[in-house]
Structure 1
Amino acid sequence: MTDAVSATGADLVARATRALAAAGVPDPARDARRLLAHALGLAPGRVTLALPDPVAPGRQAAFDALVAARGRRVPVSHLVGERLFWGRAFAVGPAVLDPRPETETLVAAALARPFRTVLDLGTGSGCILLTLLAERPAAEGTGTDIDPAALEVAAGNAVRLGVEARARFSRGDWGGAVPAGARFDLVVSNPPYIAADEMAGLAPEVRNHEPRHALTDEGDGLSVYRHIAGQAGSLLSPGGRVLVEIGPDQGAAVAAIFETAGLSDIGVLPDFDGRDRVVTAFLA
């Protein structure tokens, strides 16, 4: 057994990698290095330089606690407190969904056309809204969420990104949190689209540690799209766009919902892996 006082960073990473692998954690070596960087207070890209050095007992204890939590499938982002999205670090935690790379498909599509006002329904961490505001310095926007804890995270991220003067947050159920008469050039959302009977198949990191109400509608995974489609006419300015993230098998169904609601120029966009990921539509 490696002595606790003399263990190097490499010793700790090797030991943690074995423990995480035994717990079924995907890519255990990557996670071990990331957690060591956090325990040492280093930028992730610099942890390799510290691997040959002995680690102080207090830092070892902090690292061991992080590894134990990761072995229980607590997400790395929750343990280190942040997740990268569109090149920026967002604070995250149990109150919000982790920003995911596939959601960048929605951001890219939103940025492909000009807008001055944007509404993010179910904003969570604020990653979509705040990225759009950071990328478009003349724009302003509103994020809604039913969970006050999520809104607190989003507001903190607005400050972190320096866009708080152009971001507003409102508690409520989807468009019902928007003041009457407010209209937007762009409405975006990553709603709960996982069907209730699919929840058991999710990874433990998602199923057990992310907010259930942000993952599933407890039905067929399509109910919020019906809700958004029904509200689009009262939320969008004439010619405005709505963009929603979808599950990879939901493109045709969501497009049909938007068509029935009277939206036009409906399209289904793929993510970087070629899977359907975003439905886009316009208000005529």
Structure 2
Amino acid sequence: MTLRELLNIGTDLLKKQGNEDAVTESELLLCHLLNKDRIYLYAYAREPADEDLCQTFFDLLQRRAGGTPLQYILGTVEFMGIPLTVNESVLIPRQDTELLAEEALKELSKLTRLLRHHQILDLCTGSGALAISIAKLDRKARVTAADLSEEALEVARKNAAVAGVTDTIHFCQGDLFEALDGQGPFDLILSNPPYIATDVIDTLAVGIRDHEPRMALDGGTDGLDLIRRILEEAPRHMKPGGLLLMEIGYDQGNVVRALALSQKNPFIRARILRDLNGNDRVLKARKAR
């Protein structure tokens, strides 16, 4: 069997499972095993595929057909142009979350040039995608990255090492702000917290429901448990005029903005940023100076 024939079998198998990206995913899985780029598959399409390669490829196809996310099988994903390792201990970074990172970088660029460092907190860091991208792309960044899961922090630390930003990120384990051990106050707090309502999780695609960490998804009865806590506790850890950027659910904008501007939360401005599909995506809230 040639590589082309093997690839065609893989594509057909994934198509039968309703995979709309069957061609691309089949190519990526085979490239992963060969440790080659996709051009290689076309240049050497008539090369023979040995029995071990075929069997391992079919094993990966079965995992993918069974719902395991492609990113977990490949063990990697790109975020803001930075390659990150991922496994089932961490949520898979989404392109939508790049809106949060881009807005953070834009706001950091506006800070006074007199500041030697930008003090940043990333809550629920997971794979470290936000913390690492900010540390990599803002030369003044000094980031504290917190997560409740020690397994997630292990992944984030490895990603930071590969990205070359271990000197500018301090990782700490704990429940939201309880993880802090003296850091702060912060110019900017980032978070992509769990925000899916508990009873909605079982209705999600199998790749999310059965493979991504429930801790990173479950936001309680209405999806707002951690969002409320962050809004209530964040101001105590922010500098005057500090900024909170937090990812939210596609339909949570109005209620989250109202929570941010409620009397017990001292934010003077709050607005909702929408993603490319027009969905609510990021809360941007400013603390009074």
- For the aligned pair, the TM-score class normalised by the smaller chain equals over 0.9
Secondary structure, aligned partner of 1:221: coil
Tell me, in whole angstroms, the C-alpha distance in 1 between the residues paired with 2:55 and 2:215: 35
The within-5 A match list for 1:56-67 is: 56-67=50-61
The residue identity in structure 2 corresponding to 1:108 is E
CA apart distance, 1:267: 1.0
> CA distance change for structure 1 residues 223 and 44 in 2, over 3 Å: closer, same or farther?
farther
Query: Residue 158 of structure 1 is aligned with which of 129, 146, 160?
Result: 160
Amino acid at match of 1:39: L
How much has 1:161 moved relative to structure 2? 0.5
Name the residue aligned to 1:3: none
Determine which of 278, 282, 289 is the counterpart of 1:278.
282
> Which residue of 2 is the match for residue 72 of structure 1?
66
**Matching residue's letter, 1:159:** A
Q: Quick one: distance in 1 between partners of 2:40 and 2:281?
A: 34
Q: SS of the counterpart of 2:56?
A: helix
Return the offset for 1:47. Answer: 3.5
Q: TM-score, normalised by structure 1?
A: 0.94
Which amino acid in structure 2 is aligned with residue 56 of structure 1?
A: D
On the 8 A contact 2:3/2:46 being kept in 1, the answer is yes
Separation of aligned partners in 2, 1:281 and 1:257:
11
Q: CA 1:113 to 1:71, structure 2 compared with 1: closer, same or farther past 3 Å?
A: same
Structure 2 equivalent of residue 221 of structure 1: 223
The alignment's TM-score, normalised by the length of structure 2, stands at: 0.92
SS at match of 1:201: coil
Q: Does 1:29 align with 2:31?
A: no
Map 1:158-237 → 2, pairs under 5 A:
158-180=160-182, 182-237=184-239
Deviation at 1:268, TM superposition (A): 0.6
The unaligned stretches of length 5 or more in structure 1 are 1-6
Q: 2:115 maps to which residue?
A: none
Distance 1:46 1:263 in 2: 54
- Listed as ranges, the gaps of 5+ residues in structure 2 are 112-117
> Does 1:92 pair with 2:94?
no
**What letter matches 1:99 in structure 2?**
P
Distance 1:138 1:254, change over 3 A: same
Displacement after TM superposition at 1:44 (Å): 4.3
Total equivalences in the alignment: 278
What's the secondary structure of 2:151's corresponding residue? helix
Equivalent pair of 1:105/1:272 in contact (CA under 8 Å)? no
- 1:266 matches 2:265: no
Query: Separation in 2 of the partners of 1:8 and 1:181?
Result: 57
The aligned residue for residue 48 of structure 2 is 54
Q: Distance in 2 between matches of 1:26 and 1:167?
A: 38
In 2: Cα distance, 1:45 partner to 1:222 partner:
46
Letter in 2 for 1:241: L
SS in structure 1 of the partner of residue 271 of structure 2 = strand
Contact 1:95 1:149 (C-alpha < 8 Å) held by counterparts: yes
Q: Tell me, in whole angstroms, the C-alpha distance in 1 between the residues paired with 2:40 and 2:232.
A: 50
Kept in 1: contact 2:119–2:184 (CA 8 A): no
Task: Tell me if structure 1 keeps the 8 A contact 2:198–2:218.
Answer: yes
TM-fit CA distance, 1:230: 0.8
1:45 Cα offset (Å): 5.3
Residue 9 of structure 1: CA displacement? 1.7
Q: Could you say what the CA RMSD is over the residues aligned between the two structures, in angstroms?
A: 1.4
Aligned: 1:14 with 2:21: no
- Say which of 64, 67, 76 aligns to 1:82: 76
- Indicate the larger mover: 29-38 or 176-185: 176-185
Question: Deviation string for 1:185-225 (max 9, x for gaps)?
Answer: 11000111111121122111111100001011232101111
Structure 1 position 243 matched with structure 2 position 245: yes
Whole-angstrom distance in 2 between the partners of 1:42 and 1:215: 34
1:213–1:246: structure 2 CA closer, same or farther, 3 Å change rule? same
**One-letter amino acid of the structure 2 residue matched with residue 51 of structure 1:** A
Specify the SS of the correspondent of 2:188.
strand
8 Å CA contact retained: 1:25, 1:73 = no
Percent same amino acid among aligned pairs?
A: 35
1:128 corresponds to: 130
Tell me which amino acid in the other structure corresponds to 2:30: L
